[in-house]
Amino acid sequence: MRKIQLIAQRELKERISSRSFLLTALLGPLFVLGLVYALFSLGGSEKQHWNVLIMDKTEIMENKIAPKQDPRFTFHFINEFVEYDQFATLEQFKDYDLAVLINEKIISNKQVIVSYRELPSESIQRRLIYHVERRFEEIMVKQFTDLEVSKFREIKQSMNFSFKNTSDPKNEINHKAAWVGYVFGIGILLFVFLFGMTILRGVAHEKSNRVVEVLLASVHPRQLLTGKVIGVGVTALVQFVLWGLIIGVGLYLFRQTFFPDLLDPTLLVEQMSQDVAQQALDKFALTARNYNDFVDLVYRDIHFTNMLLFFVLFFLGAYFFYGSFFAMIGSAMGSESDGQQYIIPISIVLVLSILSGYYVIYHPQTSLAEILGYLPFTSPVVMMIELSRGFSEGDVWKIYFSLFLIFLAGFILFRLAGRIYKNGILQFGHRLKFRLIIRWLKIS
Amino acid sequence: MLQLEGIYKSYYRQKVLEDVSFDVPSGQIIGLLGPNGAGKTTLIRIINQIIEPDKGYLSLNGKRMTSEHLKNIGYLPEERGLYKTMTVENHALFLGQLRGLPKNDVQKQLDYWLEKFEIQGWRKKRIEELSKGMAQKVQFICTVLHDPDLLILDEPFSGFDPINVDLIRAELNAFRVAGKTIILSTHNMKSVEEICDRAVLIDKGKKIMEGAIHDIRSENKEGVFSITFTGNMIAFATALWAGYEIISKEVHNDTTFTVYLKMRGENEFNDLLTTLLPAVKIISAQEVLPSMEDVFMKKINAGKEVEHA
């Protein structure tokens, strides 16, 4: 164990002190932050104006809404209830972007359902809530109290708004969340490829400069391989931590400095709730142009704790799994350039894994998607997608089972890699052929 | 010290070592000789437990060898490398600790060797900053850092200039005096004659000869004598008649010569001296033992002839 630790420490020190590590650790996250900044700054594709249909069967709102006009909304009233699918498909409703359902018992149950064709941003949602709530404050004060509106506001109960996709009211299709998982999954594969190549180059280099023979006189080949894989793996984790810290601090600073109002809609609503509402509306109209889906994605939709935890776990599984392949090739190479041809098939498998994720985003309920979630080649991407979509309570076992499978496959492959490493590491000058690898596999 | 008993090793049905057995006594330098592809490197790797024999066993100090014994062995392979980006100190610390030495002891040993070789200034240098010869010295230091009882050196002098060859040779002698055992694999037969006590010759995976260097040379002598004299070459040749055969001669100056000859029939060394004394003034006369290179060539060629026959 001590020897494995020494080898891992050496690997870690060498990798961390290398210029490429520092460049990747600094430039990588800065590049990501630059991209995020650009996407925040460029603003989005969000609609500038929303047509809102208020379905108020009992006419409790009396076909009225906020006293002052909001340039972002045009409100229309209808005195009947329209089903989701009707709202989604009927020609007469196609010009409405949002439908607000005011149910008959709203005074007591405080439930408001908003169905949308395109998900409004957090700020637009807040604005809509603001308008509807203000109207109900007026109604409540008028009908049930002798209080001033401002006094009533202090004691009132908030209403519960739920936003539902008109074509997916049960929220079964969540592509945006799936894309978040996809990005995390691709991140896993990219890191696995990056650090897998580090293993391959390290093994091939030790072999070609013959330092390996000196090492093997002190340690068992399997210890040497284990130490190397652990060392490079820990390097990857250090890289993750640095990326996480830099990106985390960057996003925090974005929120605090560059885009404070943009990213804190509650602040705007608070402002609006006071008598300076119109002023705020004007200000908001300017800043809201920049508000887009991406902001929601970064600050609202990503459950960083869960995603990062499983990102690391799936990375480790995939790293052992794919890293074993890279170690096999590195140790079996007859010369330092010999194994390049074998990197192509691994790269193809990695690309196929990325494509499989794309398939799962659009065909989530298929049996193929289920299988891809368990295959060690594809499970890191597929399971990150599934995780970002969310598992129902009864399905949580799937992610743990998938993790178990990838670690099991990684362990088996690592054992086989150890066998090839042991038999191939001291063979020089040959041309690497598949037949040779099979032969080395047979020798225990 | 080290015993090898019936070692067999094959790669893919090709026999690389076949029934190799020999003993390596303590406090001696053993030359492990053989042509390229004879199986020396495989044998050395087996002793170092880098690979396992198919059959046979090794014992060290009477006990069957295990991985525990590795800390008593220092190994300098022929194709040796270092991590180019590491400093001399870090490299020594890494290899020393891998051999089981505590960090502080590695530091002390490194201080000792750097001072001994007068290269203290190298400590913080990266390996890539060193010349080939300098790197070889670092490799030698890393090999002996943990003060092993058994040193296995594969072509230790390659890459060194004559001054450093002498330096390393002196160190090997010092190790021998200190009771350490050294296995030296080399093609440099002169070195074998000069520093080895014993030799083992391997060819095509089999041990074909083993013994003390002097005994090996004596056993392979061919009755050649050298006579160095002053006088007349014609008088010398005339004095020798049918009982002797002149093989070659070296002319030192007009009157001084060295002649190599063989005796025929029943003649002995005393008869030769009796014959020559009246004719020339003898400076030296001795029986010539074959060089290790001659013995090596003779044995290897004999093997080839048997194979062809």
Residues 6+ apart with CB under 8 A from A122: A265, A291, A295, A296, A300
Does residue A48 contact residue A72 with C-beta atoms inside 8 Å?
yes
| pLDDT < 50 regions, chain A | 263, 265, 271, 274-291
The whole-angstrom separation of Cα A439 and Cα A3 is 29
Alpha carbons within 13 angstroms on the beta-carbon side of residue B146 total 26
Whether residue A170 lies inside any domain: the answer is no
Task: Report how many domains make up chain A.
Answer: 2
pLDDT at residue number A295: 66
Residue B73: its chain A contacts at CB < 8 A?
217
pLDDT at residue number A43: 56
Q: Which of A118, A133, A165 is the last residue of a domain?
A: A165
Whether residue A420 lies inside any domain: the answer is yes
A161 & A182 share domain = no
Residue A14: its chain B contacts at CB < 8 A?
83, 85-86
The yes/no answer to whether this complex scores an ipTM above 0.95 is no
Q: Cα distance from A46 to chain B (closest Cα, Å)?
A: 53
A299 & A328 share domain = yes
Q: Cα distance from A421 to chain B (closest Cα, Å)?
A: 12
Closest chain B residue to A3 measured between Cα atoms? B98
A136 & A210 share domain = no
The whole-angstrom separation of Cα A177 and Cα A60 is 36
Would you write out chain B's pLDDT as a tens digit for each of its 309 residues? 888 888 898 887 788 888 888 888 888 999 988 888 888 888 998 998 888 888 898 998 888 888 888 888 888 887 777 888 888 999 889 988 888 888 898 889 898 988 888 888 888 888 888 887 788 888 889 888 888 889 999 888 877 888 888 888 888 889 999 889 999 888 888 888 888 889 888 888 888 888 888 888 888 888 888 999 998 888 888 888 767 888 888 999 888 999 998 887 777 888 888 888 888 899 999 888 888 888 888 878 877 666 666
Per-domain residue ranges for chain B? 2-218, 222-288
A12 & A86 share domain = no
Q: Closest partner residue to A211 among B67, B81, B99, by Cβ?
A: B81
Q: Which of A165, A197, A219 is the last residue of a domain?
A: A165
- Other CB atoms within a 10 A radius of the CB of residue A363 amount to 12
Chain A residues touching chain B at CB-CB below 8 Å: 3, 6-7, 10, 14, 18, 206, 209-220, 426, 439
A161 & A207 share domain = no
Tokens coding A157 = 């109960």
The whole-angstrom separation of Cα A366 and Cα A370 is 7
Q: Shortest CA distance to A116 belongs to which of A100, A131, A138?
A: A100
The order of strands in the sheet holding A98-102 is A73-78, A50-56, A98-102, A111-116, A160-165
The architecture (CATH level 2) of B2-218 comes to 3-Layer(aba) Sandwich (3.40)
Q: Cα distance from A434 to chain B (closest Cα, Å)?
A: 16
A143 & A280 share domain = no
DSSP per-residue codes, A171-184 = ----HHHHHHHHHH
pLDDT at residue number A281: 47
Q: Which of A144, A165, A186 is the last residue of a domain?
A: A165
A119 & A249 share domain = no
Residue B75: its chain A contacts at CB < 8 A?
214, 217
| Four-point Cα dihedral A311, A316, A317, A321, nearest 10 | 130
pLDDT at residue number A124: 80
Dihedral sign of CA atoms A177, A179, A182, A183 in order: negative
Does residue B199 contact residue B192 with C-beta atoms inside 8 Å?
yes
Q: Which whole-number Å values give the CA distances from B160 to B81, B125, B165, in the listed order?
A: 15, 20, 6
The architecture (CATH level 2) of B222-288 comes to 2-Layer Sandwich (3.30)
Whether residue A182 lies inside any domain: the answer is yes
A27 & A126 share domain = no
Q: Give the pairing type, strands A160-165 and A111-116.
A: parallel
User: For the purposes of burial, counting CB atoms within 10 Å of the CB of A384, is it exposed (0-12), middle (13-18) or buried (19 or more)?
Assistant: buried
A103 & A199 share domain = no
User: For the purposes of burial, counting CB atoms within 10 Å of the CB of B29, is it exposed (0-12), middle (13-18) or buried (19 or more)?
Assistant: buried
A18 & A100 share domain = no
A113 & A241 share domain = no
Tokens coding B16 = 């690389």
pLDDT at residue number A290: 45
Q: Closest partner residue to B81 among A7, A210, A220, by Cβ?
A: A210
Q: Which domain holds residue A128?
A: 50-165
A142 & A180 share domain = no
**Helices and strands, counts by H and E, chain B:** 10, 14
